[in-house]
Each structure stands twice: as structure tokens, then as C-alpha cells.
A and B are shown apart, each in its own frame.
Chain A
């Protein structure tokens, strides 16, 4: 028997109540994340990648309606009461946010914020919590942790704060960490350090990691498996190397072409993707990518391709590339 996946999402849809009818942000997405696996989720703005996991964490806006199922270590999270959710959130299941500048409470010292998580989730004295907080800051390679614990968030740089956020997410030995664009708000050099850190802590702590990004290179550098999302659906799911080598969905292929390389001619124009991602109400009956796809046929516009393929690799396209 296969071991229970850490996170299992089945048929999840998220609809927002709009002024003219519901807007679908996520459409019938199913996925599973095994223990110690690193899954990258890539997509443009509005592809539903963030909303998908916000729904799993119970962090959606009030006007959102969710259907489907999210099981974390065998427990159903959708529709679960807050006390049950709060047993997992922050301890077994934690999240790293996009903007470290605004994700820390401005009036609390770093140490107090880290300790609060521990005091809340584990039976621990204040002294022990601060000690563990200091150890954790060392593990995310923050120099002089004792001084940092006493400081306020605004006294730390962006990269430093993201390290604090990572430390916070790791405090209670989580089974799964969801990192939502953890490097987007940071400088490129700091990005590389943070990605490197994520890679290291994942090896150290052995937890599963979901890395959400619009940047294929960010995801590609860590993830074992990549999910490509478009207009609220997964259009391709593939092991990372195979996606890099031979993308099957035209959208994945276009995304890969947009990645700048060091080997090309120096002054050539960067490749861009034609057109715009559709707004939720513009998605019709056919393939959502058809209007932008060079190889689209009448069938693509009429009939939506289902996600299908082998156990390790699936694509939602009537005419997959290199198949």
C-alpha cells in the first residue's frame, strides 16, 4: 500500500462572489504531496496558484466559496472548525509569505514573535521558547542571533526578515511548509541565498515543501516536481528535469522560452508570451490557453482537454508536444 500523502487535494474549486456572478479562481484541482517531497507550482498572476493553497490553509477572503476536499495527514481541513485548523496551522502545516516586510507584526520584537508560536503550540516555558528561537535563527544562518531576537522587524533587512519567517515556519517541526513567492519581494542576490537556505532546511528537517512562484527558474532550482497552472487549472504536472528538457503543454513550452539564458546572443529581445491570461469569466468551454496557443485547432476551442498521462507525468492538451 502506498503511504498516505502529506497533503491531498481533491477536486478543489474556489469561487469568489463577484458583482456579476461568481468568479472561478481555482477549478477542480486535484493534487497530492508526499512526505519530504518538494513541489513547485508555477503560473502567471491570476492563475489561481496562491488561492489554491490559501484555500487549503483556510485563509481565503470572506466572499470565497470553496468546494472539494483538502486532507492534511488524513484530516479534512476544508470546513474544519477553527480550533482544529489552529492545531495544524503554524505547527504541522506552516506558511512563508511573499512579503517579509509586512508579514511580521511591527510592534513585537523578533524573539517575542518567534516565542509566541512556540508558547501557543507547545507546552514550553518562555525561557525554553526563547532558547529554541535563538537556535532556530542560527539554523537559518542569521549572524548574532541574540541581538536579533531583541530587535524589531523594521531594524532588519528584507532578506533577514525572510530568514526570520523561514525560522518561524520551522519552529514546530512542520510536515509541510507552503512558501508563497518567498523570494519575489527580495533582491536577486538575496533571492539566491534564500532559495539556497530553503534547499538546506528542507534537507535538514525532512519536511515537504510547496514552492509557489511565477518564476520558473526559482521553482526549477529546488523542486522535484513541477505543476504548471493556467486559468485556475493544472495544465501540466511533471518531474522537474523532464519539464525542463521536454515540456508537453504549449504553455509550459512558452514559459520555458521566456527564461533568459546566458548562452544566447547578448542583445536579442527577450521572448515574451503573446496575449494575456484570461480573466475568470472569459474562460469558455474549450481549452483556456487556446486563444494564445499557436497550435490551437477547432477542437481546442470547443472541448477542454482533461489532465491525463502516466503516474508521474500528466498534461492537459489535445495535442501535447514531444509526446
Chain B
């Protein structure tokens, strides 16, 4: 039984870079989940005997400590977990909202489509950072707000992509055949349009995760995102940037993890795109 997914998966397996990226990502994710139990230190315990200690196996701090003596290995993994969670949740939100919004706009078309697309344009015209600062001032800082803001912008591009795909799928004859078989609009969108646009959507979603992680890090770096003592890759990098000359590892450890994660996600996304992006059989 060789279906569409099967073919894509076998093409993906033949792409060594994508497979390696996937493996590294899985290892990082696994570490982010189970990591804290591997090391005796906790994320917010201060070790005054080892302040800004350099990495090494001599002490229990494998990747060194920051200027308050907190263990970098544990904090980086906890930060990775937060960053990944935000990336995944926000991508999921953008998938759900973007797919339903885009598919309805593209399939229904006409005036509805116009109205829905103009709304997206207005939303994407808002200066984002200004928007975030504004919201922070009103509601105060918090991770719920962060999820909301990132989710609120993440779906815009997704909706556009889905609408574009829907427009082309709507022209295909199997849609006409479905109408001729008496299927209603909702049924056609759910059963015949959405499953057929999953290829590009999945690819785009894979490329959205790093974008969102980066954006979250950026917000946290500016002090608008996750707050101390909680850590995300962005706050860790922000803290490290201040000690760059005296203790570069405080910057390099979370920075390295972020860079590796983003690189892997992008390579994997590219691999997925190649795997799905074949000419129609």
C-alpha cells in the first residue's frame, strides 16, 4: 500500500541532511524533557561556591554557571523546553486558525474572501513590537500574553498560504465531482480541500516553529517575554550577552543550542518541502 504519505516519507528518508537534523532535534527535545533529572542541580538554586564557573566535569556544573551561580546545563535545558513549547503551541494555534480561516476564505470566495483577506492585511500591517509593548503595558508581563501575541500573528501567513492552495484545489475536477455527488460546502472543505493541502501546510508549519522560537527569544531578550527566574533561550542569551567578555560560555551555551535548533528545524523543513514537492502524479 503506497499512499501519498508513504511516498513522502520514503523520499525524506533518502535525504541524509534532513534525517540528521531530525535526529539532532529529537535528541535536543528528549534532553529538554528528561534533562533536569540527569543533573543534580535545579534551575533556580544558587551555588555561591561556583559563581560564573567555567564549564568542565570537575564540579557538578557541566556547562558552568551564570553570575548568580545557577547551573547553566539545567537552565539551558529548561529554557529550551520553554522555547520549544512556545514554538509548538503557537504553531499549532496558527495551524488551526490559519487552516480554517484560509480554507473558508479560499473556498467560499467572492465578497467573503475579500473581507477576510483585508482583515489579514490590516492585522499584518500592525507594527508588531509596538503592539507587544502596548499589550505589555496594559496587561502586564506574562507568558500567557506572550502565547497570545505570538499566536495572533503566527496564523496570518499560514492563512494566506492555505487560501492560495485552496484556490488552486477548488478548480480541480474532483471538487466538481464532489459537488455533483451532493456534498455540501462544509463537507467539501473538511474532506476534500483540507487533506489535499496538508503537504505545503506541514512544510510551512515546520518552518514556522523556528521563526516563532526566534521571535520569542527576541522578545525575551528585550525583556518583554519570559521573566526571571524562569528561563527561555532568549532570556539566557540576554543574560549571557552582559557577561560576554568575562564569561563567554554563559552566552555560548544557550546561543549554541538555539542556533543548532533553528538550523535543524530549517534543514528538516527544507527536506520536508523537497519530499512533498513533487509533480502531481
Contacts and interface: CB of A to CB of B under 8 A. Distances in A.
Contacts of B187: 120
A165 B174 CA distance: 11
Interface in A10-68: 57-59, 62
A99 interface: yes
Interface string A80-97: 001101111111001101
A200 interface: no
For chain B, what secondary structure do more than half of its interface residues adopt (helix, strand, loop), or is it mixed? helix
Contacts of B196: 105-107
Interface stretch (B41-49, B77-85, B177-185): B177-185
A308 interface: no
Which 6 residue pairs are nearest across A and B when measured between Cβ atoms? A90-B182, A90-B181, A89-B182, A86-B182, A95-B180, A102-B173
Contacts of A99: 173
Contacts of A98: 173
Interface in A150-176: 150-152, 154-155, 165, 168
Nearest to A98: B173
Contacts of A86: 182-184
Given A105-B174, A106-B196, A89 B109 contact: no
Contacts, number: 78
A193 interface: no
B176 interface: yes
Interface string B17-42: 00000000000000000000000000
Interface stretch (B1-9, B91-99, B248-256, B259-267): B1-9
Interface string B165-176: 000000011101
Given A107-B4, A107-B195, A102 B172 contact: yes
Contacts of A150: 1
A139 interface: no
B110 interface: yes
B191 A88 contact: no
Nearest to A171: B181
A98 B110 CA distance: 27
B279 interface: no
Contacts of A165: 177
A116 to B, nearest CB: 7
Contact of B181 (A94, A108, A152, A155): A94
A297 interface: no
Interface of A: 57-59, 62, 82-83, 85-91, 94-95, 97-99, 102-108, 116-117, 120-121, 150-152, 154-155, 165, 168
Contacts of A103: 173-174, 176-177
Nearest to A150: B1
Interface in B39-97: none
Could you say which interface size class chain B belongs to?
20 to 34
Contacts of A87: 182
A105 B190 CA distance: 12
A118 to B, nearest CB: 10
A106 B173 contact: no
B177 A95 contact: yes
A152 B180 contact: no
B1 A59 contact: no
A59 B176 contact: yes
Given A62-B110, A106-B4, A107-B4, A90 B174 contact: no
A117 B1 CA distance: 23
B180 A94 contact: yes
A81 to B, nearest CB: 11
B11 interface: no
A121 B184 CA distance: 11
A314 B180 CA distance: 31
A85 to B, nearest CB: 8
Interface string B135-146: 000000000000
Contact of A90 (B110, B180, B185, B191): B180
Contacts of B178: 105
B174 A106 contact: yes
B4 A89 contact: no
Contact of B177 (A62, A97, A120): A97
Contacts of B183: 86, 90, 116, 120
A62 B113 CA distance: 14
Contact of B174 (A104, A120, A152, A155): A104
Contacts of A91: 182
B276 to A, nearest CB: 12
Given A86-B183, A102-B172, A168-B181, 5 more contacts: A59-B176, A83-B184, A102-B174, A108-B191, A117-B181
Nearest to A101: B173
Nearest to B280: A106
A70 to B, nearest CB: 14
26 contacts: A58-B179, A59-B180, A62-B110, A82-B184, A89-B179, A90-B182, A90-B183, A91-B182, A94-B180, A97-B173, A97-B176, A97-B180, A98-B173, A99-B173, A103-B174, A103-B176, A104-B174, A105-B178, A107-B196, A108-B191, A108-B195, A116-B183, A120-B187, A152-B3, A152-B4, A165-B177
Contacts of B185: 82
